[in-house]
Amino acid sequence: MLEIIATSVEDAIIAEAGGANRLELCSALSEDGLTPSLGLIKNVVAAVDIPVFVMLRPHNNGFYYEEDDIAVMIDDLQAIKLLGAAGVVLGALTKENIIDEFFLKKIVPHCEGLQITFHRAFDEVENQVQALEILKKYPQIGRVLTSGSEKTAFNGLQQLQLLNNHAEHIIILAGAGVSADNAPAILRAGIKEIHVGSAVRFGKSFLQPIDIEEVRKITAQSAKFSK
């Protein structure tokens, strides 16, 4: 299962044509990805047939959210649902860098009808196995995007395998530095889903468009391990 980051309608169309199975739609990759505009969500959902997961992140001031931030996110969620997205990508930590259950209890009920991926805020926690146990209490959270707390998912492969062994209903989505070169090793280790960003863009840069040939390379690698 291959998920690709898209920031435009063009990205989405090319990613799907190259064989992507799902999109993570966001804006402001220079800010590590923020909530995209409603117009972009609407047009991307209309342009592709694969599931679109929308980043729900109002700012880049860390992963702790005040109540007014949460109110903004709840309003964004209502619009995201109406626009036909399949899921959302979210995450929050306390000021002590543990999973923020106050946030989850506020937000998750408003995600009815949407799948949830908990994003790489997960890589900021000290004990990922304990953090995973917290997330497992929320059946609607179906995925965790993580590099295993390393700079790249390939470097964090041992940790990803450990998490995978404890994941139960949650799918471990390997992200950070995933490419056609290392995807086979990650998938061979038992990780079922990979998340790809700059590796499929010209010049390996988020400032450049998606290269369909790079998408096809990773799609071909993923297909060897799909059941």
At 149, the amino acid letter reads S
What is the per-residue pLDDT for 226? 66
What is the per-residue pLDDT for 32? 86
Determine contact, residues 92/118, Cβ cutoff 8 Å.
no
At 162, the amino acid letter reads L
Cα 93 to Cα 8: distance, rounded to the nearest angstrom:
28
What is the per-residue pLDDT for 116? 98
CATH code where residue 150 lies: 3.20.20.380
Q: Is 40 left (phi over 0), alpha (psi -120 to 50) or beta?
A: alpha
Q: What are phi and psi of 136, to 5 degrees?
A: -65, -15
Which pair of structure tokens corresponds to residue 24? 């993570």
Determine contact, residues 178/195, Cβ cutoff 8 Å.
yes
Q: Which segments of the chain have a pLDDT < 50?
A: none
Residues 6+ apart with CB under 8 A from 93: 62, 63, 64, 99, 100, 121, 124, 125
Which pair of structure tokens corresponds to residue 158? 């041992």
Domain carrying residue 68: 2-223
What is the per-residue pLDDT for 95? 94
Cα 106 to Cα 111: distance, rounded to the nearest angstrom:
10
Find the helix or strand (DSSP H, E) in which 176 lies. Answer: none
What is the per-residue pLDDT for 165? 94
What is the per-residue pLDDT for 227? 55
Cα dist from 185 to 24, 120, 148, whole Å:
23, 21, 15
Find the helix or strand (DSSP H, E) in which 144 lies. Answer: strand 141-146
Domain count for the chain: 1
Neighbouring-strand partners of residue 4: 23, 196
What is the per-residue pLDDT for 191? 95
